[in-house]
Amino acid sequence: MRDNSNRSAGRPTLEEVAARAGVGRGTVSRVVNGSAQVSPKARKLVQDAIDELGYVPNRAARALVTQRTDSIALVVFESGERFFAEPFFGRIVQSVSSVLVARNLQMVLMIAQAPEERRQLEGYLTRQHVDGALLLSLHGDDPLPMILEERGVPTVRAGRPAHPGPSSLVDADNRGGARAAVTYLQEQGRRCIATITGPMDMAPGIARYQGYRDVVGDGPAAAGDFGEISGAMAMEWLLANYPQIDAVFAASDMMAAGALRVLRRAGRRVPEDVAVVGFDDSVIARHTDPPLTSVYQPIEQMGQEMVRLLLAKLDGDEPVEHETVLPTRLILRGSA
Amino acid sequence: MRDNSNRSAGRPTLEEVAARAGVGRGTVSRVVNGSAQVSPKARKLVQDAIDELGYVPNRAARALVTQRTDSIALVVFESGERFFAEPFFGRIVQSVSSVLVARNLQMVLMIAQAPEERRQLEGYLTRQHVDGALLLSLHGDDPLPMILEERGVPTVRAGRPAHPGPSSLVDADNRGGARAAVTYLQEQGRRCIATITGPMDMAPGIARYQGYRDVVGDGPAAAGDFGEISGAMAMEWLLANYPQIDAVFAASDMMAAGALRVLRRAGRRVPEDVAVVGFDDSVIARHTDPPLTSVYQPIEQMGQEMVRLLLAKLDGDEPVEHETVLPTRLILRGSA
DNA sequence: GGTTCATCCGAGAGCGCTCCCGCGGTAAGA
DNA sequence: TCTTACCGCGGGAGCGCTCTCGGATGAACC
């Protein structure tokens, strides 16, 4: 019951379009791929046939010959826990997604939490499957970017690694953001500005601390791990050792939230007695009491830029490596 | 400089594996696809060759002939705003992802916010590209599931639609969860339990209100839209009209957070004077003051179940439609 | 008018895989 | 021992596309 002549069962193929337009396969292919080597007349013929038939190229067939899949991976090296706790990821995902859709590329999202998944991932990415990868939240000196680049899978990562690697890179101006926050506190007349830092083995942690030091030098500082508990503990320590504190710059909103709690418990009013500034401008910033003044990172822009760099790499018309640093901005709310 | 004999430049192909193992292409294919029609000896031979060569089947070539892409779409009909504000999505994404990875399927994430993207999406899904779609957060009576099913793209959706559609469906027991929350408040000795409902044109909104009524009948109720502001406004109204209130069940954590704020401003202590229970067990629940007692939805399970249903549909060994309702659970924190 | 050259087009080859047909070999039944 | 059946296997065909090459067509030149 097959009928491979005129209108076959499934979707129309290139060949059918060609037949209908009265041209050869090659011509249709050229039209579809926007080649200039087609006469206006033929182009019109083909275009009409395409429209009538509702032709859409078969991705698999194309991929088979071009060796391109037209899909790119967005890899998040994070536990599920953190992945959905941090609004950062959602926003990156979302912005990357919209750029990719516009470019008619597929976004394949991969979350690699367990070490075993991590391993599987490497195999997955280095084989066929995707044309390139966007790497989010790489930990420490993960060798993955190196491996991928070696095997010919272009990568772009978010955030600066401890050691420079082969990936292109998009980062936010953490240092500048911290500087802006602390400067603002100073301008508000705060005299004793403390900081709760992030982990000092992570690039953003270091950069934000540096920004703080740029402004006030050796002020009261306590280390946290970006998490809320650590923020509370750091705040307690600061209060005990520097009771004269009238402002705190925390390197994450979570830590700022923890600090807020401790401050309230200690009977200090925010912002009257102690001003608090966070970092990330995350959802929690809007839901603490008072709402948190926080440093905003242009996450959407970061996503877009990552895609742009990756595509440039893919098209090969850009130098191999590139680095973009995007500006941060202080968002004022009630806490400072 | 081509060398198509022994070891070609790129990755090994089926043919090369076959040559190395000294068998035919068919046999290798059978081994790779786990057919039973292979002698142990041949299987071993092939397996060894695969291991030595590091062979991985070419997805595109396979897709071309099988008409299967081995990738499924996860579609979120939500503005970017809400997508990253609601932890719900992150968790679903994450759980779906892990199941899919285990099954060696690609997850293609699509976020359709703008109406124009919405339209594009329809074309995308109905063409080739994916074997099936998981639909999240469909609005109103979106005809998409119908369209997709008609065009042969199996779908599974999260949450009950206003009108029953052709998709299989996974939902949380919203009504039961609400019932549990309100029952708990009663057991704690609360006498005047109010509710802040979600929008009454959305299934979860309705179901949660029904659960409330199941326990206390016609209690003080004010409508919100799941958002924080609406929760605050509703709380103000309730306080004004039912000052004797000693407990509030809010149909979302956001609304509960808004209520909390109003309550504090009104000088009511939580939970001493007024107990508050939220719904969703979202991150904010852990960061309000006091932390929010809230109804937990088994989001991870929902994701897993959605995938399971979709795959069953794909394999065709399950009746066309199916509906799964998963239990909810009350998580006790400080607010009630 | 004949030659040359650029331009446009048709169609063969082949990407790597699965499907399926049919063959040889072995085991079971007559 | 011969037939029948079945199992395991090899390899041809073909999925829908792009690439490439050589042929046809027409314009431009001598």
Interface test with A, best of B11, B97, B288 (most A CBs within 10 A): B97
Q: Residue A98: closest CA among chain B residues belongs to which residue?
A: B111
Count of the separate structural domains present in chain A: 3
Read off the pLDDT of residues A299-309 as tens digits, 9 standing for 90 and up: 889 999 999 99
Tokens, residue B238: 């309730």
Answer yes or no: do B106 and A98 touch at CB < 8 A. Answer: no
Residues in B closer than 8 angstroms to A82, CB to CB, are none
The domain spanning residue B84 has which CATH number? Answer: 3.40.50.2300
Residues in A closer than 8 angstroms to B95, CB to CB, are 80
Report the gap between the CA of B101 and the closest CA in chain A (Å): 8
Alpha-carbon distance of B336 to B290, in angstroms, equals 9
Indicate whether A245 and A319 sit together in one domain.
Answer: no
Indicate whether B114 and B195 sit together in one domain.
Answer: no
Question: Which residues are paired to A108 by β-bridges?
Answer: A73, B108
Answer yes or no: do A64 and B84 touch at CB < 8 A. Answer: no
Indicate whether B178 and B290 sit together in one domain.
Answer: yes
Indicate whether B19 and B95 sit together in one domain.
Answer: no
Indicate whether B283 and B251 sit together in one domain.
Answer: yes
Answer yes or no: do A108 and B71 touch at CB < 8 A. Answer: yes
Q: Is residue B185 part of a domain?
A: yes
Alpha-carbon distance of A92 to B85, in angstroms, equals 13
Alpha-helix residue ranges (DSSP H) falling in chain B: 14-21, 25-32, 40-53, 59-66, 80-85, 87-102, 115-126, 144-150, 174-187, 203-216, 228-241, 253-265, 283-287, 299-315
- One digit per residue, the tens of pLDDT, for chain B of length 336 reads 333 333 334 678 888 888 888 888 888 898 888 888 888 888 888 889 888 888 888 888 998 898 888 889 998 887 766 676 666 777 888 889 888 888 888 888 888 777 777 777 877 787 667 899 999 877 767 788 888 887 778 899 888 776 677 778 899 999 999 999 999 999 999 999 999 999 887 788 999 999 999 999 999 999 998 888 999 999 999 999 999 999 999 999 989 999 999 999 999 999 999 999 999 988 788 878 899 999 999 988 999 999 999 988 887 755 567 889 999 999 999 999
Kindly state whether B136 is in contact with chain A, defined as any CB-CB distance less than 8 angstroms.
Answer: no
Indicate whether A190 and A159 sit together in one domain.
Answer: no
Going B157 to B158 to B162 to B168, the CA torsion angle's sign is positive
From the CA of A55 to the C1' of D19: give the distance in Å.
21
Indicate whether B165 and B179 sit together in one domain.
Answer: no
* A258-272 b/e (C-beta count within 10 Å ≥ 16 → b): bbbbbbeeeebebbe
Indicate whether A233 and A308 sit together in one domain.
Answer: no
Kindly state whether B66 is in contact with chain A, defined as any CB-CB distance less than 8 angstroms.
Answer: no
From the CA of A272 to the C1' of C18: give the distance in Å.
73
Quick check: B35 CB within 7 A of strand C? no
Indicate whether A310 and A292 sit together in one domain.
Answer: no
Residue closest to C14 C1′ by Cα: A65
Among B94, B120, B257, beta carbon nearest to A83: B94
Where in the sequence is the domain holding A19, given as residue range(s)?
14-57
Kindly state whether A120 is in contact with chain B, defined as any CB-CB distance less than 8 angstroms.
Answer: yes
For residue A223, give every residue at least 6 positions away whose Cβ sits within 8 Å of its Cβ, in sequence order, or none. Answer: A196, A197, A198, A199, A200, A230, A234
Residue closest to D15 C1′ by Cα: B65
Answer yes or no: do B228 and A287 touch at CB < 8 A. Answer: yes
Kindly state whether B287 is in contact with chain A, defined as any CB-CB distance less than 8 angstroms.
Answer: yes
